[in-house]
Amino acid sequence: MKYIYGLQKSGISLANYLYSIGEDFYAWDDNKNVRNLFLLKFNDIKLRKPKELNFSIIKEAYITPGISFNNVNLSLLNKYKISLFRDLDYYLSIVKKEKILAITGTNGKSTTTKLISDLIKQNKDDCFVGGNIGVPLLDFK
């Protein structure tokens, strides 16, 4: 069973993908309004706070990029040795034949991404720019 923590752009994108392939998962967002919006679309998906999970069935957790893996709300996931991933990890597991350039860091990612994509496009090559800027990764697949 998978767990999604954070239901903003990338979390919703991952939920849409998992739902479309019939994969079971639990989800949570600390913001009640975000949870209510989520339930409008996924009324049969169970929302669970990290402390309400049955850790014997959770195999992996996908944490939205805006939340640190060291977030106090994830301490139980760490305690029970649940593997923590980002949507990028899941994307990489299903897109095997594409060349991927991933840009990480604290500052300057969007600018660097834009400059690199401009260079690639100037060379008449196609490229997808997404993730934290633009389209979430799993919406591109």
DSSP string, 96-119: -SS------SSSSHHHHHHHHHHH
* Beta strands 2-5 and 25-28, pairing class: parallel
- CATH value at residue 47: 3.40.50.720
pLDDT tens sequence across 5-53 = 999 989 999 999 999 999 999 999 999 999 999 999 999 999 999 999 9
Give the per-residue pLDDT at 141.
56
Q: Which domain holds residue 83?
A: 2-94
Instruction: Look at residue 73 and give its three-state secondary structure.
Output: helix
Asked whether residue 28 is domain-assigned, the answer is yes
Asked whether residue 48 is domain-assigned, the answer is yes
Asked whether residue 100 is domain-assigned, the answer is no
Asked whether residue 130 is domain-assigned, the answer is no
Asked whether residue 36 is domain-assigned, the answer is yes
Q: Which of 75, 77, 40, 79 is nearest to 59 (CA)?
A: 77
Asked whether residue 33 is domain-assigned, the answer is yes
Q: Which helix (DSSP H) or strand (DSSP E) does residue 87 occupy?
A: helix 87-94
Asked whether residue 69 is domain-assigned, the answer is yes
Asked whether residue 53 is domain-assigned, the answer is yes
pLDDT tens sequence across 106-129 = 678 888 888 998 999 898 888 878
Domains contained in the chain, number: 1
